[in-house]
A and B are shown apart, each in its own frame.
Chain A
Amino acid sequence: MKARKQRKGLLWLTLALVTALVTACSGNGGKNANSPAPEGSASASATGSGETASAYKDKYDPPVTITTVWGVDPALKFKNGETIENNVATRWALETLGIEIKSLWSVTDTNNAFVTKMRLAMSSNQKMPDVVTIGDAQLAQDLIDTGMFREVGSLFDQYANDKWKQAMNLDPNVWNPYMRDGKKMGIPVLDYAYNHDYLLWIRQDWLDKLNLEGPKTLADLENIMDAFKNRNPDGLSPDKVTPLSIGFKTTMNTWMGDPSWVFGAYGTIPGQWNVGADGKLEWGSIHPASKQALETLKKWRDKGYIPAEAALWDENKTAEPAVAGTAGIIPGPYWMSGWPLLDTAKNVPHAVWKPYPIPTGPDGKAGRHGTHFTSGVTLIHKDMKHPEALFTYQNYLFDHLADPEPGSQWDIGVFKGYDYDLDANGNPVYLDKIPGGEVNINRYWLVKDGARIPDAQMKALLNLADGKEPVTRLEKEVKNNYGPETPAAAKVLMSQPDISYKDMFTGPATPTMQSKLDYLKKIELQTFNEIIYGKKGLDEFDKFVGTWKSSGGDQITKEVNEWYASAH
Chain B
Amino acid sequence: MATWTRTWPFHLMVWPALLFLIVFNYVPMAGIVMAFMDYKPWLGFTGSPWIGLDHFRALFERDDSIQVIWNTLVISVLKIVFNLIVPFTFAILLNEVRKRLLSRTIQTLVYLPHFLSWVILGGILVNFLSTDGGFANRVLGFFGLGPVFFLGDGNWFRVTVVVSEVWKEFGYGTIVFIAALANINPSLYEAAEVDGASRWKQTLHITIPSLLPMAIVVGTLSLGNILNAGFDQIFNLYNSLVYDKGDIIDTFVYRTAIIDGDFGFATAVGLFKSVISMLLIIVAYRLAYKLANYRVF
| Chain A residues packing against B (C-beta within 8 Å) | 2, 6, 10, 14, 17-18, 21-22, 26, 29-30, 32-34, 110-112, 115-116, 119-120, 122-125, 138-139, 142, 145-148, 248-249, 307-309, 311-312, 509, 514-515, 517-519, 522-523, 525-526, 528-530, 533, 535, 547, 551
Contacts and interface: CB of A to CB of B under 8 A. Distances in A.
Interface string B1-22: 1011000000100000011001
B58 interface: yes
Of all A-B residue pairs in the complex, the 4 with the closest CB atoms, nearest first, are A146-B42, A29-B44, A525-B240, A123-B41
Given A311-B239, A518-B252, A525-B240, 19 more contacts: A18-B26, A21-B23, A22-B27, A30-B44, A33-B43, A116-B258, A120-B258, A122-B42, A124-B41, A139-B261, A309-B130, A309-B131, A309-B149, A311-B241, A514-B260, A519-B63, A526-B240, A526-B241, A535-B241
B40 interface: yes
B262 A514 contact: yes
Contact of B3 (A2, A308, A522): A2
B65 to A, nearest CB: 10
Contacts of A533: 152, 241
Contacts of B30: 22
A327 to B, nearest CB: 12
B277 to A, nearest CB: 23
Given A147-B42, A249-B239, A526 B244 contact: yes
Contacts of A120: 258
A312 B263 CA distance: 29
A275 B259 CA distance: 27
B46 A29 contact: yes
Interface string B40-67: 1111111100000000001000111000
Contact of B239 (A10, A111, A116, A312): A312
Given A18-B22, A146-B41, A522 B132 contact: no
A35 to B, nearest CB: 11
A179 to B, nearest CB: 18
Q: Is the interface of A mostly helix, strand, loop or mixed?
A: helix
Interface in B225-247: 235-236, 239-241, 243-244, 247
A33 B45 contact: no
B37 to A, nearest CB: 13
Contacts of A110: 119
Max chain B C-beta neighbours (<10 A), residue from A30, A115, A514, A522: A522
A491 B258 CA distance: 41
B248 interface: no
A312 B41 contact: no
A145 B256 contact: no
A376 B263 CA distance: 24
Contacts of B126: 312
B151 interface: yes
A18 B244 contact: no
B201 interface: no
A128 to B, nearest CB: 11
Contacts of B247: 522
Which of B23, B46, B62, B260: most chain A Cβ within 10 A?
B260
A340 to B, nearest CB: 18
Contacts of A519: 62-64
A122 B126 CA distance: 33
B255 interface: yes
Nearest to A525: B240
Given A2-B4, A32-B44, A138 B62 contact: no
A33 B27 contact: no
A111 B118 CA distance: 13
Contact of A142 (B22, B44, B244, B261): B261
Contacts of B263: 123
Contact of A34 (B11, B23, B42, B235): B42
A119 B261 CA distance: 7
Contacts of A146: 41-42
B262 A522 contact: no
Contact of B151 (A21, A33, A312): A312
Contacts of B43: 33
A125 B41 contact: yes
A14 B262 CA distance: 32
Nearest to A142: B261
A309 B261 CA distance: 31
Nearest to A321: B132
Nearest to B262: A514
A125 B119 CA distance: 27
- With a 10 A CB-CB cut-off, give which of B4, B18, B45, B240 has the most chain A CB atoms: B240
B41 to A, nearest CB: 4
Contacts of A18: 22, 26-27
B74 to A, nearest CB: 18
Contacts of A509: 260
Interface string B187-210: 000000000000000000000000
Most buried by B among A123, A139, A145, A530: A123
Q: Which of B4, B40, B236, B243 has the largest number of chain A CB atoms within 10 A? A: B243
A309 B153 CA distance: 11
A248 B244 CA distance: 17
B44 A518 contact: no
Contacts of B23: 17, 21
Contacts of B41: 122-125, 146
Nearest to B247: A522
27 contacts: A2-B1, A2-B3, A2-B4, A10-B18, A17-B19, A18-B22, A18-B27, A26-B45, A26-B46, A29-B45, A30-B44, A33-B44, A33-B47, A111-B235, A119-B261, A142-B261, A145-B40, A248-B240, A309-B131, A312-B152, A509-B260, A517-B260, A518-B260, A519-B62, A525-B240, A528-B240, A530-B241
Contacts of B131: 308-309
A32 B41 CA distance: 9
B1 A547 contact: no
Nearest to B45: A29
Nearest to B39: A123
Contacts of A528: 240
A309 B126 CA distance: 10
A365 B253 CA distance: 40
Contacts of B239: 249, 311-312, 529
Contacts of B3: 2
Interface string B144-174: 0000010110000000000000000000000
B261 to A, nearest CB: 5
